Structure 1
Amino acid sequence: MLPALLAGQPEIALFLALAVGHAIGAIRFGPFQLGGICGTLVAALVIGQSGAHLDNDVKNVAFAVFIFALGFTGGPQFFANVGREWRIGLLSLVEVFVLLALLAIAVPLLRLDQGTAAGLLAGAATESAVIGTASEAIARLGVPAEQVRVLQTNIVTAYSVTYLFGLVSIVLFTSQLAPWLLRVNLRESAAQLWQKLGGENDMGDGQHSALPLLVGRLLRVERIVGKTVIDAERTVQLGVTIRRIRRGGDTFRPAPDEILRDGDVILAVGRRDAMVDFARNVGTELPDEPGMDAVQAEQDVLLTRKEVAGLSLARLRQVADVGLARGVYIQRITRMAHRIPPLAGTVLRRGDVLTLSGPQEAVQRVVPELGYPVTPTVKTDFVFLGIGVLLGMLLGALSVKVGQADLTLGTGGGCLVSGLIFGWLRARAPVVGSLPSPAAEILKDFGLATFIAAVGLSAGPDAVKLVREYGLILPVAGILVSVVPAAISLALGHWWLRLETPILLGAVAGQHCSTPTIMALTNAAGNGTPVIGYTITYAISNVLLPLLGPIAVAMAGALAR
């Protein structure tokens, strides 16, 4: 009854695979979690035994939307990181070349076909997008349809087996084995780096420090009588701003050249560490004073100004126009959907979203000097989205004749390039198009999950054959192909590039594009310093790894002859 229903109405099978798969992916085994995509693939392989099959058009559209959204969200950071952060970004190139070298060894040694080779690479590198680009490449091989189906089945089966072992391996390697090999206490090293960058306590989502970064204090002027407001603010190295003065019965907002008088009551706002010294310089702190409250406005800004990108927060404060930026502080930094510690030594990158805090009028003055305001919106510009995907498909359809072979990006490569360009354009000119982050995330998640479910359902009946054929070979190969590039990057990053250990380990997690790995790593480190390295290699690998799908197929075909 149920198999007949699923086979007759494959859309039911699709959403069943999505629901069951994400439920499986949410189950935790200690620090490990399969995730929704791998869970969906496992569920689809099982449900696929019923004979349910989705049209190729559904699969192709879902993958095109996913890969465009992937490029769109990563575009600004990709172009920002390729040139400036070459030292850390180099690890993404190490990942690519070592993966291909290992594949060149594995194909003849294990007698892997093109589908199994591509699936091994996708699973061990924990990069689901490779499944789509490799499947497209196999469809263009010019072999019989039945052989295409078998090879595409082998991709998803090999991926499902090697992903699990590759994920567990890279999580254990970065969070446990690598610090031991380097003879480093990761938690102590991360704490030292945090302090070096000027940090205090690191807070996670939903947490707020009992000692916040910005504080306000009411102080009676006793020891800085005769100084101007701006000179009084400069008595401490870090930022403090005098927002209000109460003199006699009057309360007013002071100009920078206002002279402070004995008995004035001031409202000072600034960094807590600076406020301690400032209060000592000024006089007695008061518990309350009527009419002395002030509102702090917050505004998210997309950083696009090249003069600001590359500066640390400390350097930015030094070069900022005092009159323009007075009273404005950077509360948070978000990069590639990950929170970056807003420390004095944190370097800003184009594409960062900065959360500014300060007086409304001051914040509005500063925004154009940094980039564009990020206005919360729930609307998606479907003209922008449609043209982007369309151009990507057209670009993917172009081919160049090289010898006997036709080289083409395919739909996946074309939409990835289109997404990168459109994302970069949106970052440069946010008035053009609109694809809010939540909308882009659901396009990525739903598009990839639908594509994975579609290929899993098609592969279901034949998946068991591949597992029986290779047995334990695939899991072992998955572990090696996952850990060897990471180990080489670790050695290069530590002894040649001289990277700080937390940043290096974060970069290793990023070269695998592995979110579970960075989560485990930040837990082991005790703060968010590994995310600094992670976002750089993640942005680059997210573009490079999907392009390996066609290369893996071509390489396996050539080596098998």
Structure 2
Amino acid sequence: MSKLLYFIGVIALALVPALAMAQDAETVGGAGKVVGQVFDRIEPVTEAGLHGVFQYLGNQPIAFILLAMALGSLIGRLSLRGVSLGTTAGTLLSGIVVSVIAQSAFGITYSIPGVLSSFFLLLFMYALGLRVGPQFFAGLRSGGLAFVAIGIIVWSLNWIICMAGAWLAGLEPGYATGLISGSYTITAILGVGQNAIDSGAYVPPPGISPEQIGANMAGAYAISYVLSSVGIILLIRYLPQIFGHDPVADAQSAEREFSGGDIHPAPGSPDALTFGFSPYDVRAFRLTHHELVGRCVSEIETAYPSMPIVHLLRNEKPVDVTSDPILTEGDIVTVRADVHDLIFTEGTVIGPEVDTPEARRVPLVVADIHVGSHSTSGRTVGELTAAINGGVVVEALFRGGHELPLGPDSEIRFGDTVRLTGTNASIQKVAQGLGGQPVLPTMKSEIFYLALAMFIGYVVGTLTMHIGGIPIALGTSAGCILMGIFVSYMRSRNPSFGGPVHEGARNFLQDFGLNAFVAVLSANVGPKVVTALAGDTALWLALIGITAALLPPLIAFWVGIRMFGLNAVIADGAATGARNSTPGLNAIVDQSRSSIAAVAYPVTYAITTVLALIGGYFSMILS
């Protein structure tokens, strides 16, 4: 807590003097006259004092977003007996507190354009989709029925609790629809409720105007939205542990299950080009064996195929191995081979081992190559290995995004992906023979494919059908996550598709996008809380809203793990998708240290989005 107070103090001390520069040139004496010669007048940024700080944040939305994210990150790290909010809930809470103080203490109402929050959310959804593409379809095959059941359970219980609660509490028309919208965190439900009024499908009773019903909806929405947004993050974050499950262990188990038993990460996945354990190593020997002296590199590699030469030093200077030089006595030869052979064979064949740093400083890389040559199709891994040299090793073979058993007789076909390790020059040479371009680890990300894919997902999400006067659309966020899944799925079959995508950049888009989204959300929702907090009605709205937000996913999770036998993290992802809570999804991703929960999210999200809009329309008619 002391760190948090210190951080707030630093922010205040940094902002207040800067914001207090609202003085004319005369007020600063001779120095002001000098400044006045350069500038006719310096307009004040805002008023001085604490009021000025909040006013500045209202005038500069970007400053508000960044401050909310910074404070939220600190708050999210605070832990009480192992329970913490996390950065997403912390950002939401800090933003709401700042906006409520601005409204209640200084009469300043924050309003940030919705286009900002929408764009940040779309970045998050697309980046998340890139992470889970191949696993998404495996999840559909293994848990499709369970996902549908979880979605229906969450939606139906939410609708019943809100409608019954409003009736038992004697709340006026409009409150039930606002409760459904806020507890489900779907603002569009307010729109369909208003549409029921405007179209005449619902006629207000005598003594209450359509405007009052709209205000009732907004008030119920504001209170239930804030409480359910924070509550669902905490519930989803700790739901597996509540039922005695280890989220990290369950996530690892789910990853193994949805990988189909694959040992190596699929092509195009974030960990695909990570240089992991290999039985092959690089060692250097001084050439003393007279049988090898005077022979060129290619001859030696033909005579000793298990001893590929990857580097050569002569008189402490490197010699280009690809020029097929002739070896001389005293050369330092660097080879890459199986560790067992290096220890017990190569030393007796070449000469004594040396520890010359320059000889062992041979950069090795991992590369995926999509086989694009029909002439290669039908060859075995053993034949490919015999034909290549330079220390290139076949690590894995993939077909249709799935790993195949690797052995000398494994057949390579057109369209397969071969994963190799070795020097860059050697891999480039092998890639030419396979008819493909090697996909190597990179620090770059392709903006063209990212923007185009998100554009397509956005357009698809905006396509709307009207059924009985109810607008039904997939939604832009669902469109973008499905497009990310599609790109990721295609990359598992051809790793050069839609790339490159650097994992660090993808992870940044995921984290920054969501936290910036909730920061904007907190600014716009916070002021509505102040106007809605009045009388006993606010207490009823809070009680009904939080119950409708948290009880349905809790029951649906239990059904998922007990009746359908779902993995706890997968069931959690399905529950947060059924609740349409993207921050909740990020919470379980963070808690389980895996993105596998996102496998179920789009399925239940899509189902309940449609059901929630239909239910919101009829909730207004039945008020």
What is the TM-score with the length of structure 1 in the denominator? 0.62
Match in the other structure for 1:124? none
The 1:331–1:492 alpha-carbon spacing in structure 2 relative to 1, beyond 3 Å, is: farther
Partner amino acid for 2:611? I
**Structure-2 separation of matches of 1:99 and 1:187:** 21
**Structure-1 separation of matches of 2:563 and 2:327:** 57
Extract unaligned runs of 5+ from structure 1: 122-130, 200-204, 235-239, 308-315, 333-342, 346-352, 498-503, 523-530
**Does 2:86 match 1:35?**
yes
Is the 2:73–2:87 contact (alpha carbons within 8 Å) kept by the matching residues of 1?
Answer: yes
Partner amino acid for 2:215? E
**Does 2:295 match 1:295?**
no
Aligned residues: 476
- Encode CA deviations 1:311-359: one digit per residue, 9 max, x unaligned: xxxxx97796554586346999xxxxxxxxxx999xxxxxxx9997521
Is the 1:65–1:443 contact (alpha carbons within 8 Å) kept by the matching residues of 2?
Answer: no
Which secondary structure state, in structure 1, belongs to the residue aligned with residue 68 of structure 2? Answer: helix
The 1:79–1:216 alpha-carbon spacing in structure 2 relative to 1, beyond 3 Å, is: closer
Is the 2:130–2:488 contact (alpha carbons within 8 Å) kept by the matching residues of 1?
Answer: yes
Is the 1:48–1:458 contact (alpha carbons within 8 Å) kept by the matching residues of 2?
Answer: yes
Shift, 1:177, TM fit: 0.8
Extract unaligned runs of 5+ from structure 2: 1-48, 166-175, 198-210, 265-270, 293-298, 374-379, 397-404, 408-416, 577-583
**Does 2:275 match 1:275?**
no
Is the 2:110–2:523 contact (alpha carbons within 8 Å) kept by the matching residues of 1?
Answer: yes
**Does 2:530 match 1:469?**
no
Is the 1:171–1:516 contact (alpha carbons within 8 Å) kept by the matching residues of 2?
Answer: no
**Structure-2 separation of matches of 1:507 and 1:136:** 27
Match in the other structure for 1:26? 77
Which secondary structure state, in structure 2, belongs to the residue aligned with residue 177 of structure 1? Answer: coil
**Structure-2 separation of matches of 1:471 and 1:443:** 30
Match in the other structure for 1:555? 615
Partner of residue 443 from structure 2, selected from 369, 372, 376: 376
- Encode CA deviations 1:207-263: one digit per residue, 9 max, x unaligned: x9999876422358999x9996478565xxxxx8543478999997779x9999999
**Structure-1 separation of matches of 2:545 and 2:440:** 49
**Does 2:396 match 1:327?**
no
Which secondary structure state, in structure 2, belongs to the residue aligned with residue 406 of structure 1? Answer: strand
**Structure-2 separation of matches of 1:46 and 1:373:** 46
Shift, 1:34, TM fit: 1.8
Structure number with the bigger relative contact order (C-alpha 8 A, sep ≥ 6) is: 1
**Structure-1 separation of matches of 2:343 and 2:554:** 53
Is the 1:161–1:474 contact (alpha carbons within 8 Å) kept by the matching residues of 2?
Answer: no
Match in the other structure for 1:362? 426
Which structure is larger by alpha-carbon Rg, 1 or 2? 2
Match in the other structure for 1:528? none
The 1:517–1:75 alpha-carbon spacing in structure 2 relative to 1, beyond 3 Å, is: closer
Match in the other structure for 1:217? 283
What is the TM-score with the length of structure 2 in the denominator? 0.57
**Structure-1 separation of matches of 2:372 and 2:538:** 52
Shift, 1:108, TM fit: 1.9
**Does 2:98 match 1:98?**
no
The alignment yields a C-alpha RMSD, in angstroms, of 5.8
Is the 2:179–2:545 contact (alpha carbons within 8 Å) kept by the matching residues of 1?
Answer: no
Most deviating of 280-289 and 210-219: 210-219
The 1:439–1:554 alpha-carbon spacing in structure 2 relative to 1, beyond 3 Å, is: same
**Structure-2 separation of matches of 1:34 and 1:389:** 30
The 1:463–1:97 alpha-carbon spacing in structure 2 relative to 1, beyond 3 Å, is: farther
The 1:149–1:17 alpha-carbon spacing in structure 2 relative to 1, beyond 3 Å, is: farther
Shift, 1:549, TM fit: 3.9
Alignment of 1:109-508 (within 5 A): 109=161, 111=164, 113-121=176-184, 131=185, 134-141=186-193, 142=195, 143=197, 144=211, 145-173=214-242, 177-178=244-245, 215-218=281-284, 229=301, 241-244=308-311, 266-269=333-336, 274-276=338-340, 278-283=342-347, 286-288=353-355, 292-298=359-365, 323-324=387-388, 327-328=391-392, 357-365=421-429, 369=436, 372-373=439-440, 375-377=442-444, 380=447, 385=451, 395-413=460-478, 429-430=497-498, 437=506, 440-441=509-510, 444-445=513-514, 447-462=516-531, 464=533, 468-469=539-540, 480-491=551-562, 504=567, 507-508=570-571
